[in-house]
Amino acid sequence: MFIYHRILLCCFILIFFNTSHGQVHDPSWRRIINKQDKEWFASDEAQTIADNVLLYQRDIGGWPKNTQMQKLLSPEEKEKLKALKQSTDDVTTDNGATIQELLFLSKMYRATKNATYKEAWIKGLHYIFEAQYENGGWPQFYPLRKGYYSHITYNDNSMVNILKLLQQVKNKTDYYAVPVSDADVKRAEEAFNKGIECIVKTQYKQNGALTAWCAQHDVKTLAPAKARSYELPSLSGAESAEIVWLLMSIENPSEAVKNAIVHAVSWFKKVKIEGLKVERKFDETIQKRNTIVVEDDDATPVWARFMELDDNTPFFCDRDGIKKATLAEIGYERRNGYAWYTQNPQKVIDKFPEWKAKHYEKPSKKVKDAYNVTVAKDGSGDYTSIQEAIYASKAFPYQRVIINIKDGVYNEKVHVFSWNTHVSFLGESKENTIITFDDYFSKIDLGRNSTFLTSTVLIEGDYFLAKNLTIQNTAGPVGQAVALSVNANNCFFENCNLKGYQDTVYTAGEGFKQYFKNCFIEGSTDFIFGEATVLFDDCVINNKTNSYITAASTAKNETFGYVFKNCKLTADVGVNEVYLGRPWRKYAKTVFINCDMGNHILPVGWHNWKNKEAESTSFYAEYNNTGIGFKPNERVSWSHQLAKKQAKKYTINNILGNQFFENLNQHD
């Protein structure tokens, strides 16, 4: 018997040796894509595989998933793929599809400069643009398929992989070798930003506190959604980790993004599982390798793939969709065919202190003159962001704080607080010193007053002054989106561009006085609105759509509301039906004096906002205007054409007060 076993063992060794050395293990498609050998991508072997990749790409631009592109194709298989070119049935970004093929083609183009690879790559990029939902998310399959495939898909990092690609494109890195047009770079930036907005909006709130994300979210409600029978609405330890890792890579994150990261990391720390270890061991009972969970005090923390939405309890599911408390309770196939635990959140937790130090724990700066500082994007000034300079400014200073802003695009929300009085923003040039952001009503989504939280620049400190710069809200035609909000007294803006769509400039504060001189202000609906007394002098007022210029909400006892003197009213091409104003509140006051009105101004001039009472309580008037749009005889009967004597009272001192400039300059 002993000799028999010795012979059997020798035979087994010989067979194993021959088979292990004789057979050739084909490398996987993923391994081929991630080859570091640049020269290989110029080889005949690589180009043969690239031919396959081009064949598998559908006309719409994407690829099917789970395909070993490197496998040799017979003539018949190639013909079948050619016949499938127009099909869109299985085009997806799931399981790395499309993204990994684009990476391969990029490496091929870098090695060969073959224009065919470039064209295919650009087509794939356009497929990604096309597949994005308006709310910023991406489905698992596009064109859309019925069922869970249409959910916003974080599962298996589908959407994160897309955003990583777009991040490289928008940042113009050389990670992808294919040259991209400026238009596509802009589209990539817009798509990336919308995707990040979607991520922020879908972060799940548990008892009012932000936590993490589900593997998929409903495209309409944004709520956690079910996918396959064992993928129930839940909080995901695996996908959420990759989402946060992406958010932490953003160079200048918004407050919303930073808030999302902080809360997610807090949640990761809260729900980590200690004292358990996941192992794959040979099970004598079933004669197969089996996944088991064992107790181990020294085990590295793990996180469950699925956790309950209400209390973070881990759960496990078989294909019957019935929740189980432990992994051991589900069948062998699902227990071993799915990743139920992950360690990925640990890398986020480990990275978080460094990220927090960069974005929150700013080292104090020593400046030569605290009352005269410079902001420059390139680091040549005292600060690199405007808000950083404001944080460092003295409260209620005894002299004016001058913040010189060098040319550059400052993508940030700026808040001049009520204690930051006598602050000046002096831009290097109106055209190239740009403060920009893109918040809008439904993005803020904090109730009926969300408009007032959308502003790119919010001024609450009295005696504020700004010159030679642009303030804009680039959200576009998506509803209320304020560029400049001035809720302060004695504020002066000169030679500034103020750009947006709906609600561009909000002039707040009952009894407050504000002055805009030689400014360009553009928007669509009610793009100059509010209750302050404001003089617009020598300004260009440009309409982007057919709508209303002003929406004053002047207080009842105020003598003046909005006064436009020596202004030019213009409009974009095709705009031809614009009202001078309508009353946001019934005592609205708006007057145009010595203004040049384009032919886009409607003959009736004014609108009552469907409030008949406002016709007798509001005050809308004009004097000595010019241009095709000035048709005094056709104005609504309840508006006024001032007499010369009446117009004389509209002087700068009467409107703003004798002390306006004295108060503005008293600390200079």
Tens of pLDDT, residues 283-295: 877 778 888 899 9
**H/E run at residue 11:** helix 2-22
Report, as an integer, the average pLDDT of 412-431.
96
Per-residue pLDDT reduced to its tens digit, 136-169: 999 999 999 999 999 999 999 999 999 999 999 9
Distance, first Cα to last Cα, the chain? 107
Report, as an integer, the average pLDDT of 181-208.
95
pLDDT class of 443 with cuts at 50, 70, 90: confident
Tell me how far apart the alpha carbons of residues 365 and 370 are, in angstroms, rounded to a whole number.
Answer: 10
Does 314 score more than 50 pLDDT? yes
Rounded to 5°, the CA angle 37-42-45 comes to: 90
Query: Domains plus CATH for the chain?
Result: 28-202 (1.50.10.20), 510-668 (2.160.20.10)
pLDDT class of 446 with cuts at 50, 70, 90: confident
Per-residue pLDDT reduced to its tens digit, 530-566: 999 999 999 999 999 999 999 999 999 999 999 999 9
- Going by C-alpha positions, the residue among 572, 620, 580, 571 that lies closest to residue 598 is 571
CA 480, 483, 488, 493 dihedral sign is negative
pLDDT for 365 equals: 60
pLDDT for 26 equals: 54
Does 20 score more than 70 pLDDT? no
pTM of the model: 0.56
Does 209 score more than 50 pLDDT? yes
Tokens of 282: 């040979």
pLDDT for 11 equals: 39
- SS3 at position 484: strand
pLDDT class of 363 with cuts at 50, 70, 90: low
By CB atoms closer than 10 A (0-12, 13-18, 19+), residue 371 is middle
Residues noted as catalytic:
503, 526
pLDDT class of 14 with cuts at 50, 70, 90: very low
pLDDT class of 131 with cuts at 50, 70, 90: very high
Does 58 score more than 50 pLDDT? yes
- Going by C-alpha positions, the residue among 456, 453, 387, 455 that lies closest to residue 423 is 387
Work out the mean pLDDT of the chain and round it to a whole number.
92
Does 396 score more than 90 pLDDT? yes
pLDDT class of 378 with cuts at 50, 70, 90: confident
pLDDT for 445 equals: 84
What are the angstrom distances between the C-alpha of 509 and each of 10, 271, 456, 459, 461? Answer: 94, 47, 18, 11, 12
pLDDT for 358 equals: 86
- Going by C-alpha positions, the residue among 82, 51, 44, 43 that lies closest to residue 69 is 51
Does 467 score more than 70 pLDDT? yes
Task: Select the more confidently predicted residue: 506 or 362.
Answer: 506
Per-residue pLDDT reduced to its tens digit, 476-486: 999 999 999 99
pLDDT for 618 equals: 97
Place of tokens 């959140």: 345
pLDDT class of 87 with cuts at 50, 70, 90: very high
Per-residue pLDDT reduced to its tens digit, 566-597: 999 999 999 999 999 999 999 999 999 999 99
